[in-house]
Structure 1
Amino acid sequence: MSPSSTSPLPPAPSFQRNLVVPSTKMTLDRTNNSCTNDMLLAMPKPQFKSTHSTPLLPIRPYSQPERSHSHTTRSVSAEPTRKQEQLSASSFSKIRLLGKGDVGKVYLVKQKDNGNLYALKVLSKKEMIRRNKIKRAYAEQTILASVNHPFIVPLYHSFQSKNYLYLAMEFCAGGEFFRALQRRPGRVLMENDARFYAAEMVAALEYLHLCGIVFRDLKPENILLHESGHLMLSDFDLSIQSPSAGAPSIVRTNLPFSRPMLDTKSCANLRTNSFVGTEEYLAPEVIRGDGHSSTVDWWALGIFIYEMLYGFTPFKGTSRDETFDLIITQSLDFPDYSNNVYYSGPSSTARSLIRKLLHKDETKRIGSKAGASEVKSHAFFKPINFALLRNMKPPIIPAKSKNAIDAVNFKHVKESFSFDLQKSLAAPPSPPATDDDEDPFADFGSAILHHDIVESP
């Protein structure tokens, strides 16, 4: 029976997330190192730790909604055609405001010549300079322009004007996954549903780690619900990329009849002392300032699964300092359903995975040795065929209105000031900066990512 029939769950703490201001120690690799499927297949030959191996299959990203029987490949245009050169902010018309942050806003826009919908992130240069967030904009553009995965939101275009930076990404009609969770009875999912969504995030993190990228801010607010019901990871401004990703290796487990596993831990070969993330999802090593690696993503996955199953995060305090103290010192507890005759709570297998993900010693945390393969091999994911995950029917299909551009799954957001987006969009692109200009955004190049149609067999 669903949790909606149970006695009330423990009261959930406030769902206002507090974003920790990133340290200025964060470094950024601005080289445009693509991490497409072709590059993954062209990586140096793995160092095999056994005589058995399995081929790496290319990842098949989402098709566009109107092309339900095809998939796409993406490439960055280094030499745009004349038509592509004309594509600028003025090529779009505003429909509505989807969300806003401290340095910018996200609008639902329509491309005038073909009617395609995009989520256009508009970032204020003035605010980014004032808040010292220039590197974050570069990080997001660089990473989004290089990745290609069905569970990561695609970037289609990026450009700039005199006062703003623009990132045109896929519009996910389901909105934030956080809002979808809030609408569920008890703010929880049944275990099978939570397993499905956790598996999609494991697949996304595995791919990012293969590319040498540590996400560092996994939470429901940074996950979008595609109109198909699948999840897409978004908001890469706190992510960091290793200057040179290592080559993956293939290892075998000691279990009989087990398939070889791909070791992704060595790919994201970096360690940083940056203090970034969202407080309820921060790993202990980040708070202590010990430096952190890709294992922080597995800690955040544990918090994410816990929140899907119980409706709140496990270490939330009444203040930021108390939350940090609980993360470091408090043992992991689970709500007691022993007296509930209608619902026994999540399984012991689910609790086992959460405990392993939320191990306070990062060297003993699941995923710290061989990366995603360790996590995927846990018994909790035994019902999941990761190779067919994209073809499975998702538990939640976003509501659709008669007007497809109504964005019914987004909360109504009011403009904080009068902002004529169309006037801003009509502004010409910024001219190339000279040495005297000292333009901090000079390297924020325009990118056009092609989605070539390849018919499925």
Structure 2
Amino acid sequence: MAPSSCISPAPPPPPAPSFQRNLVIPSTKMTLTHTNTSCANDMLLAMPKPQFKGTHSTPLIPTRPCSQPGRSHSHTTRSVSAEPTRKQEQLSASSFSKIRLLGKGDVGKVYLVKQKDTGSLYALKVLSKKEMIRRNKIKRAYAEQTILASVNHPFIVPLYHSFQSKNYLYLAMEFCVGGEFFRALQRRPGRVLMENDARFYAAEVVAALEYLHLCGIVFRDLKPENILLHESGHLMLSDFDLSIQSPSAGAPSIVRTNLPFSRPMLDTKSCANLRTNSFVGTEEYLAPEVIRGDGHSSTVDWWALGIFIYEMLYGFTPFKGTSRDETFELIITQSLDFPDFSNNVYYSGPSSTARSLVRKLLHKDETKRLGSKAGASEVKSHAFFKPINFALLRNMKPPIIPAKSNNAIDAVNFKHVKESLSFDLQKSLAAPPSPPATDDDDDPFADFGSAILHHDIVESP
């Protein structure tokens, strides 16, 4: 595709993309720099009481900031604890009954399961230890479990239980009945959202990334496939196996500009003060600095946000080529183009404000990219988000409410995945919990924590 100011008028709809994009194999080299101060995100405490509920009998909407676990609020809450209470037994795979397969990957599968004693529904990720060892993905499993066990935010999928058996690791997470946001996009006319709807979902992603960066976490794999739709229609980020966390998140600093009447901004980028050379992500969403091997920081999440918004507005990503190498070449060298709607009498296309945001997020020079100076505060201050009150996002009605049958276990919003004979959950359920290792050197999974997490429960007045 040759660079041009615009694409030809009324472009034909692109072919429907497959339901799995190509992932880039991660390398292991990284360089970390950080400050020895605690993470702070108390601004999130100003968010009001939510009104949507989860799949449990009471609404399970996390509100605890990462800096102060168990902090009391003016409304009724229960604090998060990584330790089971005396009344609760340590869970194992036999505590759940299988309902259906939701998805599968190269090292494991995700099942919809029901906890036998409570009837609660979960998405149970089952990871094969053998495959993780063979594919050198043990650190990725640790990263996901560690991050999910430490974060607590309404737009991040909650982890409720983690445990292991002799052959498998288990992560029991919130079952989001809406399935992947990617599938929801595919069902929309033209596979696009109207600008106001795209703005709403982009704002929820920004709020989630802001929280992660405040906790020193870089997501690194933002894409519609890694975003789930809660039954309320709100988004939840998932799949943190490619994420990276600074050993010690720095405290946010204040950034002031020389512009008249401008307000000081909280620098969320300073919390995730790390730089790594890992080559990870999904090829259509990779930032130029990742492809060039220059090293990258939290600004890669803002690049991915730009691709995500573009895909919501136009139905395809801006730099996709016919091959992986061509996609990489276009990301590095191709100028950003937008479809031309000037001859369309029915639709004028996204606004100039929306295009301005995407341009600034997709700046190939990461030092000039929106978010590179002050992180989320800088992104939220763009005119595109002016109609959004970020403190009230949880109380706003989402544009898409997932379809539900009378029986929640039907999982109508999930793609039908054929079960293979290579893994039988029922046999896994019958397996006893993994015995304690006598020597950590003999068990690479010895540090995989078993925990029951009690998330804050916010009760409406």
TM-score above 0.5, yes or no: yes
- Cα separation, 1, equivalents of 2:76 and 2:437: 35
Structure 1 residues 26 and 89: alpha-carbon distance in aligned structure 2, compared to 1, 3 A threshold: farther
Query: CA contact under 8 A between 1:98 and 1:106: conserved in structure 2?
Result: yes
Q: Which has the larger displacement, 429-438 or 138-147?
A: 429-438
Cα distance in 2 for partners of 1:56, 1:426 equals 29
Contact 1:150/1:232 (CA < 8 Å) preserved in 2? Answer: yes
Aligned residues: 457
- How far has the Cα of 1:145 moved from its partner? 0.3
Q: Which runs of 5+ in 1 are unaligned?
A: none
Task: Report the CA distance shift for 1:342/1:364 in structure 2 as closer, same or farther (over 3 A).
Answer: same
Question: Structure 1 residue 308: deviation in Å?
Answer: 0.3
Deviation at 1:119, TM superposition (A): 0.3
| Alignment correspondent of 1:362 | 366
* More deviation, 27-36/407-416: 27-36
Is 2:96 the counterpart of 1:92? yes
Distance 1:31 1:235, change over 3 A: farther
How much does 1:30 deviate? 16
What does 1:292-441 align with in structure 2 at a 5 Å threshold?
A: 292-417=296-421, 419-435=423-439, 438-441=442-445
How far off its partner does 1:299 sit? 0.2
Q: Paired residue for 1:144?
A: 148
CA contact (8 A) 1:302 1:358 kept: yes
**For 1:217 and 1:64, how far apart are their aligned partners in 2?**
27
Q: Give the secondary structure class of the aligned counterpart of 1:285.
A: helix
Q: Deviations over 1:254-310 (max 9, x none)?
A: 566655422101000100000000000000000000000000000000000000000
Cα drift, residue 88 of structure 1: 1.6
- Residue pair 1:49, 1:249 contacting (<8 A) in 2 also: no
C-alpha distance in 1 between matches for 2:41 and 2:191: 37
Q: Tell me if the contact between 1:30 and 1:142 (Cα under 8 Å) persists in the aligned partners.
A: no
- After superposition, the Cα gap between the structure-2 partners of 1:62 and 1:185, relative to the gap in structure 1 and judged at 3 Å, is farther
> In the aligned structure 2, how far is the partner of 1:64 from the partner of 1:409?
36
Check whether the contact 2:83–2:453 (CA below 8 A) recurs between aligned residues: no
TM-score by structure 1 length?
0.88
Q: 1:77 & 1:136 partners in 2: Cα distance?
A: 23
Give the direction of change, closer, same or farther, for the CA distance of 1:256–1:51 in structure 2 (3 Å limit): farther
Cα-to-partner distance string for 1:291-342 (whole Å, 9 max, x where unaligned): 0000000000000000000000000001100000000000000111111111
Note the C-alpha offset of 1:438.
Answer: 1.4
Cα 1:48–1:424 change in 2 (3 A) is closer
- Work out whether residues 34 and 250 of structure 2, in 8 Å CA contact, stay in contact via their aligned partners in 1: no
C-alpha separation in 1, matches of 2:50 and 2:87: 42
TM-score, normalised on structure 2?
Answer: 0.87
Contact kept, 8 Å, 1:109 with 1:119, in 2: the verdict is yes
Tell me by how many angstroms 1:139 deviates: 0.1
Residue 402 of structure 1, CA deviation: 1.3
Matched, 1:265 2:269: yes
Gaps of 5+ in 2: none
Structure 1 SS opposite 2:57: coil
Kindly provide the CA deviation profile for residues 335-363 of structure 1, in whole angstroms up to 9, marking residues without a partner as x.
11111111111111000000000000000
Does the CA-based 8 Å contact 2:27-2:280 persist in structure 1?
A: yes
Report Cα offsets for 1:159-212 as digits up to 9, x if no partner.
000000000000000000000000000000000000000000000000000000
Change (3 A) 1:40 1:347: closer
CA RMSD of aligned residues (A): 7.6
CA distance in 1, matches of 2:56, 2:29: 42
Q: For residue 208 of structure 1, what is the aligned residue in structure 2?
A: 212
Deviations 1:31-83 (A, max 9, x none): 99997977998999999999999999994799999999998856554543344
Alignment CA distance shift 1:50-1:445 (3 Å): closer
Contact 1:3–1:186 at 8 Å: present in 2 too? no
Q: Find the residue that maps to 2:453 and give its secondary structure.
A: strand
- Deviation (angstroms), 1:447: 1.1
Distance 1:267 1:69, change over 3 A: closer
Pair 1:186–1:164, CA change in 2 (3 A): same
Cα 1:29–1:234 shift into 2, 3 Å: farther
Change (3 A) 1:14 1:87: closer
C-alpha distance in structure 2 between counterparts of 1:347 and 1:323, whole Å: 26
State the Cα distance separating 1:87 from its structure 2 match. Answer: 2.0
Cα distance in 2 for residues equivalent to 1:382 and 1:211? 25
Relative distance call for 1:32 and 1:415 in structure 2 (3 A) is farther
Q: SS of the residue aligned with 1:168?
A: strand
Distance (whole Å) between structure 2 residues aligned to residue 2 and residue 288 of structure 1: 21
Change (3 A) 1:56 1:260: farther
What percentage of aligned pairs have identical amino acids? 95
The verdict on how the C-alpha distance between 1:226 and 1:14 changes in structure 2, with shifts beyond 3 A counting, is closer
How far apart in 2 are the matches of 1:405 and 1:352?
A: 42
- Which SS does the other structure have where 2:354 is aligned? helix
User: Highest relative contact order (Cα 8 Å, sep 6+), 1 or 2?
Assistant: 2
For residue 76 of structure 2, give the secondary structure of its aligned residue in structure 1. strand
Q: Secondary structure at the match of 2:75?
A: strand
Deviations 1:201-244 (A, max 9, x none): 00000000000000000000000000000000000000000011
Deviations 1:87-117 (A, max 9, x none): 2211100000000000000000001111000
1:315 partner SS: coil
Deviation at 1:444, TM superposition (A): 0.2
Once residues 289 and 214 of structure 1 are traced to their aligned partners in structure 2, the CA distance between those partners, rounded to angstroms, is: 17
**Structure 1 residues 260 and 301, CA gap change in structure 2 (3 angstroms):** same
Residues 27 and 118 of structure 1: is their aligned pair in 2 closer, same or farther, counting only changes over 3 Å? farther
Secondary structure of residue in 1 paired with 2:100: strand
TM-fit CA distance, 1:420: 3.0
Residue range with higher mean Cα deviation, 399-408 or 84-93: 84-93
- Taking the TM superposition and a 5 Å limit, the aligned residue runs for 1:10-409 are 16-25=20-29, 59=63, 77=81, 79-252=83-256, 259-409=263-413
Does the residue aligned with 1:246 lie in a helix, a strand or coil?
coil
Distance 1:163 1:27, change over 3 A: farther
- Contact map agreement 2:29 2:277 (CA 8 A) in 1: yes
Q: 1:335 to 1:13 in 2, by over 3 A?
A: farther
Check conservation: 1:106, 1:119, Cα contact below 8 A. Answer: yes
Greater Cα offset, 177-186 or 44-53: 44-53
